[in-house]
Amino acid sequence: MAGEEAPQPDISPPAPATEDGALQEPFQCCVCLDLLHKPIVLACGHISCFWCVHKAMHGLRTSNCPICRQPYNHFPSICQLLHNLLLKMEPVAYKRREHEVLEEERRLKIFSPQFGDSVLPGSVPSEDNSGALEELETSANNLKPSGSVGGEESLLPENGVGYGICRQVSVNDVLCGLCGKLLFKPAVLNCGHVYCESCLVGLGDAPLKCPDCESSHPGGFPNVCLDLEHFLEEQFPEEYAERKAEVQLQRVQALPGDSSSSVLHEKKGSKQSDSIDDYMLIEDDLRNIHVGVGCDSCGMYPLRGKRYKCKDCTEAIGFDLCEACYNTTSKLPGRFNQQHTPDHKFELDESQMLCRILLRSLPVDSQELAEDFLFEPLSDDQEDPDHNNGVQ
């Protein structure tokens, strides 16, 4: 993803206010203050909309959570479990958000990932699809008003999602991908998959990797998503209490040396050492930082190290990979719904963008001297047309 090649969507409509002017929605985006749309969970556990996270990230250095200011360096994938949950709980409001976002995406020709339950199942957004917005508007108009869902009185506040019980949601909608039971203290990985915190701890001491898609989780151990945890406690009080007792019993029965609580403490304690801070901008070679460009597989943003650009992807946002993802056979889709296929060719980008920006900021008489210091001749392996990558 190359942020400098296309403008970022300005999708942040004002949120509806309560009678006293307060905004206290559990699934409300902390950036746009509206109902979450295509939610992304940061490693700290806080949730924001897909585009709100992308807009808030810094194109040159480490980004920070808008709530707790915890640093992060990767743009996570959408959490499909939360996406499906919100679609079930607030179909009318969620379709409204989808309408707003899709309209802006079509205008800027930059698209967020599409899912099977989107307004255009199986379709690819394009200029030729002129009836997309009309179809969505008709679909939204055919839905019942927000005061009535499925022929029953709404159990949720009119201005958003509440923690109250929602009959449209069942335990089967919120199961852990590892133990197959109701999520307990849910933690969301960079790839968007959700697991019980205790299940992730049980994976061992190796670098954390998603059991589902096998993608590596960068940085330290993820925090519990508190908004989702509170929802589960309210929605399924008996089942959640049973899961809590079950996990506590497992911890008591564990050997003292293998206590999952001590392992969890150690993993969380190593989080700071795993993160990349702003000092890297000083210590790292400036040629390794690609301003406003991210990896479309792991989400590293800005991209550090070698940047591989797809020569065949035609989307305005582009398709880029970091060196680690370029050398793997990841099956993760692009962060912006790019139609990348394994037969596409890559080239090594050595434009040294940050160096050129810094060079232009210097006085003219100093630029020639600085140019010899900042730049090196391009390597012979700038193009690698025979390399096919498994990312699609």
Q: pLDDT tens, 155-194?
A: 334 434 444 566 688 999 999 999 999 999 999 999 999 9
C-alpha 78 chain-centroid distance = 5
The encoded tokens of residue 280 equal 């890297």
Whether pLDDT at 2 is above 80: no
Q: pLDDT tens, 11-61?
A: 554 444 333 333 346 789 989 999 999 999 999 999 999 999 999 999 888
Whether pLDDT at 74 is above 70: yes
Can you tell me the distance from the alpha carbon of 313 to that of 161, in angstroms, rounded to the nearest whole number? 38
Q: pLDDT tens, 196-214?
A: 999 999 887 778 999 998 8
CB contact at 8 A, 1 and 317: yes
pTM, rounded to two decimals: 0.74
Q: pLDDT tens, 343-390?
A: 889 999 877 666 556 556 656 665 555 555 555 544 444 445 445 554
Q: pLDDT tens, 92-138?
A: 999 999 999 999 999 988 899 988 655 433 344 444 444 444 544 44
pLDDT of residue 167: 66
Instruction: Give the contacts of 81 (CB within 8 A, at least 6 positions apart).
Output: 173, 174, 193, 194
Buried b (16+ CB within 10 A) or exposed e, 124-153: ebeeeeeebeeebeeebeeeeebeebeeee
CB atoms within 10 A of CB 114: 18
Domains of the chain, with CATH numbers?
3-15+23-153 (3.30.40.10), 171-272 (3.30.40.10), 280-388 (no CATH)
More confident position, 309 or 291 = 309
pLDDT of residue 20: 36
Q: Of all residues in the chain, what percent carry a pLDDT higher than 90?
A: 41
Residue 94: Cβ-neighbour burial (10 angstroms; 0-12, 13-18, 19+): buried
Can you tell me the distance from the alpha carbon of 369 to that of 352, in angstroms, rounded to the nearest whole number? 17
pLDDT of residue 266: 59
